[in-house]
Amino acid sequence: MASTTFVIIGASLAGAKGAEALREAGYSDRIVLIGDETEVPYERPPLSKQYLQGKQELEKAFVHPAEWYGDHDIDLRLGTTAAAIDRDGRSVTLADGTRVAYDALLLATGSSPRRLPVPGGNLEGVHYLRRIPDCEQIKATLRTASRVVFVGGGWIGLEVTAAAREAGIEAVVLEADELPLGRVLGPEIARVFADMHRQHGVDLRPGSHVTEILSEGGRASGVLLADGTRIGADAVVVGIGAAPNIGLAEAAGLTIDNGVRVDASLRSSDPHVFAAGDVANAFHPLLGKHIRVEHWDNARKQPAVAARAMLGEEAVYDRVPYFFTDQYDLGMEYSGYIEPGGYDDVVVRGDLEGREFLAFWLADGRVKAGMNVNIWDVNKQIQQLVQTGGRVDAAKLADADTPLDQVAAS
Ligand SMILES: Cc1cc2nc3c(=O)[nH]c(=O)nc-3n(C[C@H](O)[C@H](O)[C@H](O)COP(=O)(O)OP(=O)(O)OC[C@H]3O[C@@H](n4cnc5c(N)ncnc54)[C@H](O)[C@@H]3O)c2cc1C
């Protein structure tokens, strides 16, 4: 049989895991892994946590050691941008004009930070965090700044805020909504995070709308809010979400719908093109709808399904969505998926004030999502509750003495 080539665009977590999964599945032909960053594929969570805080070496973030790619005969092209996809001719054109033919293509182009659309948004001293160089800049800022304004109280913003406070820097967090994380967690549990940051001395200001980044000598010197308030700062860190990198896919005429729309096997509207990770809006059989998940676990696990589908095998991605965060001394895992307002009850087991608890979001008596905060080795059981979707007894769920596999409603 003629030798084939599988091309992967995006050499980060999903891309590297895709290459790994193809080799593990026994694919021994050519794999070309194309990435526009210059570092070997790495995981991003440490960039807002341990690596940012100087508690972890950069190498620990690498998905594989540098030599792994050569050892597994993967043609890793770093610092290389894929400029176009020719679906009829089944080839990818690189920025230097080189063409790479493919038999199957995996898009793992991820997402990019949303920019703050206000005057001054691109001034020096305004930081966005996605890549290693961004992290290095923020790390340097945390060594010298005395006051930093954070625009956006999402996961990344709050993690960097925690790093700033632990470095003894004054931190002001500006959140447009009533509560940071309110849309993801709902007010009951989002409040736990808001209280924690306030207890650590963060000046948290909900309902704040930034209209301008102020400047002094060409550098960001603070922000102006819609109500006229001016807040001075040595630097501004913006974390207002991310947008999927769909440019290539869109230009190639693939179906786009909040990312590259793919089926449960991660196959796009073109049977030779697949997508995984942050860029993929995949049909999730458990939820019965398409979802795009911007989390580490999804980028880590989806590629194995894409790889099997690329090899013509039956494969479906139906894992319960999962993510984690670490802020100060709080470690948390969350499993499940709920759209804002998509629950009618929150059940807590444990000590909310002491930040050692489990929380469950219920709709119609069924667990739609669950979270463990500073309690470990329960995640599998929480996922099981979400997965099975049976009705539960809220009193048993709240009772720490009732095992989680015995909370079914009678
Ligand atoms: C600072 C930070 C902290 C995070 N912390 C957590 C956490 O605690 N928990 C959690 O669950 N998730 C976390 N995440 C989210 C997680 O890192 C992402 O979900 C994951 O990185 C997605 O991986 P990916 O490979 O799909 O995409 P990405 O990591 O975005 O990688 C896509 C790659 O493709 C490249 N690329 C794009 N277009 C092209 C092109 N045309 N040619 C060549 N290359 C291209 C990009 O430059 C990039 O290298 C964090 C993210 C960040 C930024």
Which tens digit of pLDDT belongs to each residue from 153-182?
Answer: 999 999 999 999 999 999 999 999 999 999
- Ligand 1: centre distance to CA 280 (Å): 12
Nearest CA to ligand 1 atom 21: 44
211-232 mean pLDDT: 98
Q: What's residue 2's pLDDT?
A: 80
Q: What's residue 169's pLDDT?
A: 98
- Ligand 1: centre distance to CA 153 (Å): 19
The reply to whether ligand 1 has any atom less than 6 angstroms from the CB of 113 is no
Nearest CA to ligand 1 atom 33: 10
Paired with 327 in beta bridges are: 330
Percent of the chain scored above 90 by pLDDT? 98
The atom number, within ligand 1, closest to the CA of 280 reads: 26
Place of tokens 């972890």: 56
The reply to whether ligand 1 has any atom less than 6 angstroms from the CB of 9 is yes
Give the span between the Cα atoms of 386 and 392, in whole angstroms. 11
Contact (CB, 8 A) for 374 and 386: no
Using the predicted structure, report yes or no on whether residue 59 has a pLDDT greater than 70: yes
Answer CATH for 5-47+60-111+243-310 from 3.50.50.60, 3.40.640.10, 3.40.50.720, 1.10.3720.10: 3.50.50.60
CA distances from 11 to 80, 90, 106 (A): 10, 20, 11
- Sheet (strand 91-94) strand order: 82-86, 91-94, 99-101
Nearest CA to ligand 1 atom 37: 109
The atom number, within ligand 1, closest to the CA of 129 reads: 1
Nearest CA to ligand 1 atom 4: 45
The reply to whether ligand 1 has any atom less than 6 angstroms from the CB of 19 is no
pLDDT tens figures, 67-124: 999 999 999 999 999 999 999 999 999 999 999 999 999 999 999 999 999 999 999 9
Which residue from 12, 137, 333 has its CB within 8 A of the most atoms of ligand 1, so it is best to mutate? 12
The reply to whether ligand 1 has any atom less than 6 angstroms from the CB of 334 is no
What is the SS3 assignment for 180? coil
Which residue from 295, 319, 379 has its CB within 8 A of the most atoms of ligand 1, so it is best to mutate? 295
pLDDT band of residue 341 (cuts 50, 70, 90) is confident
Q: Around Cβ 36, how many Cβ atoms within 10 Å?
A: 18
Nearest CA to ligand 1 atom 30: 110
3-state DSSP percent of the chain in helix, strand and coil, to 5:
25, 30, 40
DSSP string, 309-321: HHTT------PPP
Dihedral pair phi/psi, residue 391, rounded to 5°: -70, 140
Q: Around Cβ 200, how many Cβ atoms within 10 Å?
A: 16
Q: Domain limits of the chain?
A: 5-47+60-111+243-310, 126-240, 329-406
The atom number, within ligand 1, closest to the CA of 14 reads: 25
pLDDT tens figures, 351-382: 999 999 999 999 999 999 999 999 999 999 99
The answer as to CATH 3.30.390.30 being correct for domain 329-406 is yes
Structure tokens at 193: 């995070």
Q: Which of 16, 11, 13, 27 is nearest to 309 (CA)?
A: 27
Q: What's residue 170's pLDDT?
A: 98
Contact (CB, 8 A) for 166 and 192: no
The reply to whether ligand 1 has any atom less than 6 angstroms from the CB of 156 is yes
Q: Do domains 126-240 and 329-406 have the same CATH topology?
A: no
Q: What's residue 364's pLDDT?
A: 96
Q: What's residue 1's pLDDT?
A: 63
The reply to whether ligand 1 has any atom less than 6 angstroms from the CB of 277 is yes
The reply to whether ligand 1 has any atom less than 6 angstroms from the CB of 48 is yes
Q: What's residue 120's pLDDT?
A: 96
Write the CATH number of the domain with boundaries 126-240: 3.50.50.60
Which one-letter DSSP state was computed for residue 114? P
The atom number, within ligand 1, closest to the CA of 81 reads: 42
The atom number, within ligand 1, closest to the CA of 15 reads: 25
Nearest CA to ligand 1 atom 26: 277
Q: What's residue 190's pLDDT?
A: 97
Q: What mean pLDDT, rounded, does the chain reach?
A: 97
- Ligand 1: centre distance to CA 111 (Å): 6
Using the predicted structure, report yes or no on whether residue 340 has a pLDDT greater than 90: no
